[in-house]
Amino acid sequence: MDYTTIIGLEVHVQLLTKSKIFCGCANLFNPDNPNVQTCPVCLGLPGSLPVMNRKAFQLSVKTGLALNCDIASFTKWDRKQYYYPDLPKAYQISQFDLPFSADGWVDIEVPSTGETRRVRLIRAHLEEDAGKNIHDESGRGADSRVDLNRTGTPLLEIVTQPDIRSAEEARIFLEDLRLMLRYLAVSDCEMQEGSLRCDANVNLHVEENGETIPTPIVEIKNLNSFRGVEAAIEHELKKQVKAWQTDPRRMGEVPKTTVGWDANRNATFEQRGKEEAADYRYFPDPDLCPVTITQEEVDEIRSTICELPGVRRTRYVSELGLTPYDAGVIVDQGAEFASYFDEVCVTCGDGKQAANWVTQDVQRELNERKLEIGEFPVSAPVLGAVLKKVVDGELTIKSGREVFATLLSDAGDGTRISAERIDAIIADKGLGKEQDTGKIDAVIQAVLDRNAAVAEDVRNGRMQAVGPLIGQVMRELKGADAKDVRQMILDKLQG
Amino acid sequence: MLTREDVEKVAGLARLKLTEEEISEMADKLSQVISYVTVLDEVDVSNVEPMAHVADVANIFREDAVRESLPREAALDNAPKSDGKYFLVPQILENA
Ligand SMILES: [Zn+2]
């Protein structure tokens, strides 16, 4: 069977505003205290009027720009009408024919194929989130409970073209999108809390007798983990291939199906079957006036966009010479971590050295101490100053680690960590790299004299014998560079 | 002229249950309303921008500031049924 997998995603992202989109209720995930963040506007009580949150609109435009979308100079609000208990007005304020942004794209890197793939975006529009229904799962048919805290949370809907070709690509797209949105600080994208959710439209283009035949589309609703997205699409694809082989149906022969994903059973379940196509009867919301935006305002918002993950990754590899792996590790830790790395890098002047320390030493300490980079006691300029000494050859890497460890333990005692401390630590512990070759030479000679038999072994080519000699020298000369010492011993014995 | 299927569809979308008599009555009345507004079809609007809003205003915003919400009791006050914390509704069947 010759076929292509066709996947399009609809992603919903809650925006990081303090208040809701059309009223002053707090925009806060608060499931333990249901129905405490509501007011006449978000309860849809008669006579109440919505007023647009400026910040929500600005965050949307910022996101649209980062997604390479065109920003509409004129945009308006429409009512999408349907009945559901979590939608108190019986309509959702959304955007229909004039969304604030359209025609964007995101490039993703697919490790398994080594390809860069462009996923085009049809549009991104702004709308209000609905409340939350909690179903009785006892099977006794008890009432469903409704919490309207979430009602009116600003929600961005991002719709892709059906450009995604595998479950893996869908997961990568979503991971990259999440990272980008977090860099932009437009959403916390906490999937556990539902602030990033995804629906996937999946079908096949089957090649048969020189014809490309699209199969019926299945929409998988409400995927809220990366693993879930990949597994659900994988599962659905297998099902569709099997369906084609046993009872081939073309698109249009059966209505579009909507399914849910049960992560525990690793299976999809049908949600709505033969229901007629939804009829939302959109019309312009008379309660809200349109929004216009000038090129200057767009440019101003564009100027607030930080360097995004994709650009950063490329720069780390091409300008700093990092491996794509290290670049990825740093970028994936988030904007604050990457900025820390950037500052260390600028201070010490060596990207690879900075990357080694930040991805190993710093990350290990952060994990052990359960800290965020913003709370880390050794600031980027201080670590940069330590590494500068390593890069300039004033400190060995080993001594650098000891300075770093001392700075950290000092921080535990409440000592303020500043770059001035570095020289004091180096002096206290005698960590300065021994530059006096005469002195090193004398110590080496003394060690060789005491270990004449071992020295003889090395002379005869038993190279593993050199290790203990280096060890003895290093014990006497803390600040010496082991590599230099090794070379000097070999020069003496073999020269 | 609206058919009875049209009326049934519109009633269904509005979650209204109409009797046989009401369906034919509504078909008549709605047809009258629609024929009344079809007068508008006579106007040439080919060069007129669609109107997004009756008032000629744009860009009315509020700043992103939190205001006090209603106490929970007040929010739930109008609910036909609640348990003091949540609104209660007849069981929602996801696959209905
Ligand atoms: Zn409210």
Q: What is the pLDDT of residues A13-39, one digit of tens each?
A: 999 999 999 999 999 999 999 999 999
**Closest chain A residue to B76, measured at CA:** A35
Q: Clarify whether residues A344 and A276 are in a common domain.
A: no
Range of the domain at A489: 437-494
pTM above 0.90, yes or no: no
Q: Name the token pair of A470.
A: 């280096």
- Distance between Cα A125 and ligand 1 center (Å): 21
Between residues A266 and A28, which one has the greater pLDDT?
Answer: A28
Residue A155, strand partner residues = A14, A127
Residues A70, A183: contact at Cβ < 8 Å?
Answer: no
Is A301 domain-assigned?
Answer: no
Of A400, A429, A458, the position where a domain reaches its end is A429
Q: Name the token pair of B83.
A: 């348990």
Q: Clarify whether residues A104 and A206 are in a common domain.
A: yes
Residue A53, Ramachandran bin (φ over 0: left; ψ between -120 and 50: alpha; else beta): beta
Q: Clarify whether residues A204 and A234 are in a common domain.
A: yes
A31 touches chain B (CB under 8 A): no
pLDDT digits (tens, 9 = 90+) for A80-121: 999 899 999 999 999 999 999 999 999 999 988 889 999 999
Confidence of residue A482 (pLDDT cuts 50, 70, 90): confident
Confidence of residue A274 (pLDDT cuts 50, 70, 90): very low
SS3 A355: helix
Q: Clarify whether residues A449 and A353 are in a common domain.
A: no
Between residues A22 and B40, which one has the greater pLDDT?
Answer: A22
Is A302 domain-assigned?
Answer: no
**For chain A, what is the domain count?**
3
- Average of pLDDT values for A214-230? 94
Is A452 domain-assigned?
Answer: yes
Is A300 domain-assigned?
Answer: no
In angstroms, the separation between the Cα of residue A281 and the nearest Cα of chain B is 9
Alpha carbon of residue A129 to chain centroid: 23
Is A35 domain-assigned?
Answer: yes
pLDDT digits (tens, 9 = 90+) for A357-406: 999 999 999 999 999 999 999 999 999 999 999 998 888 888 899 999 99
Of A429, A450, A474, the position where a domain reaches its end is A429
In this predicted structure, the answer to whether residue A432 has a pLDDT above a threshold of 90 is: no
CB atoms inside a 10 Å sphere around CB A2:
8
Enumerate residues 266 to 305 of chain A having a beta carbon within 8 A of any beta carbon in chain B: 269-273, 279, 281, 284, 286, 288-292
Q: Do A35 and B86 touch (CB under 8 A)?
A: yes
Q: Clarify whether residues A287 and A324 are in a common domain.
A: no
Residues A67, A104: contact at Cβ < 8 Å?
Answer: yes
Q: Residue A78 and residue B53: Cα distance in Å, rounded? A: 11
Q: What local confidence, expressed as pLDDT, does residue A448 receive?
A: 87
Nearest by CB to residue B64, choosing from A54, A281, A291, is A54
B91 touches chain A (CB under 8 A): yes
CB atoms inside a 10 Å sphere around CB A191:
18
Nearest by CB to residue A52, choosing from B61, B72, B94, is B61
Q: At what angle do helices A452-459 and A482-494 cross, to 10 degrees?
A: 80
Q: Clarify whether residues A64 and A207 are in a common domain.
A: yes
Q: Clarify whether residues A240 and A374 are in a common domain.
A: no
Specify the amino acid at residue A87. L
In this predicted structure, the answer to whether residue B53 has a pLDDT above a threshold of 50 is: yes
Is A177 domain-assigned?
Answer: yes
User: Going by C-beta distance under 8 Å and a sequence separation of 6 or more, which residues neighbour residue A64?
Assistant: A71, A100, A101, A104, A124
Per-residue burial over A249-275, b = 16 or more CB atoms within 10 Å of its CB, e = otherwise: eeeeeeeebbbbbeeeeeebeebbeee
SS3 A2: strand
User: Going by C-beta distance under 8 Å and a sequence separation of 6 or more, which residues neighbour residue A316?
Assistant: A322, A326, A327, A330, A331, A351, A355
SS3 A453: helix
Closest of B63, B62, B48, B51 to residue A76, by C-alpha: B51
Residues within 5 Å of ion ligand 1 by Cβ? A 23, 25, 39, 41-42
Specify the amino acid at residue A430. G
Is A176 domain-assigned?
Answer: yes
Q: Clarify whether residues A395 and A467 are in a common domain.
A: no
Of A241, A272, A295, the position where a domain reaches its end is A295
**Residues of A with Cβ-Cβ distance to B60 under 8 angstroms:** 51-52, 288-289
Q: Clarify whether residues A239 and A147 are in a common domain.
A: yes
Q: Clarify whether residues A281 and A342 are in a common domain.
A: no
Please report the ipTM that was assigned to this predicted complex.
0.91
CATH number of B4-42: 1.10.20.60
Q: Clarify whether residues A237 and A386 are in a common domain.
A: no
- Average of pLDDT values for A342-352? 95
Q: Clarify whether residues A96 and A201 are in a common domain.
A: yes
